[in-house]
Amino acid sequence: MFSINGKEFIWKALMSLIGISLISFGAALSQTMNMGLDPFTAINTGASELLGFTLGNYQLFVNAAILAIILFFDRKIIGWGTIFNLVLVGYMIEFFISMLESFIDPTQFAFIVQLLITVVAILIFTFGVALYMDADLGVSPYDAIAPVITDRVSASYKTVRMIQDIIVVITAWILGGPVGVSTFITGFLAGPLIDFFSNRFTSKLSDKVEAKA
What is the domain partition of the chain in residue ranges? 6-208
Residue type, 209: V
Is 74 a residue whose pLDDT tops 80?
yes
213 falls in which pLDDT band (50, 70, 90)? low
What pLDDT does 133 receive? Answer: 87
Is 2 a residue whose pLDDT tops 60?
no
Tell whether pTM > 0.85.
yes
Least confident range of 45-54, 89-98, 130-139 = 130-139
53 falls in which pLDDT band (50, 70, 90)? very high
- Eight-state DSSP code of residue 35: S
Determine the longest span between alpha carbons in the chain, in angstroms: 50
Q: Which residues contact 62 (CB under 8 A, 6 or more apart)?
A: 44, 47, 141
**In this structure, are residues 201 and 134 in contact, taking their beta carbons and an 8 Å threshold?**
no
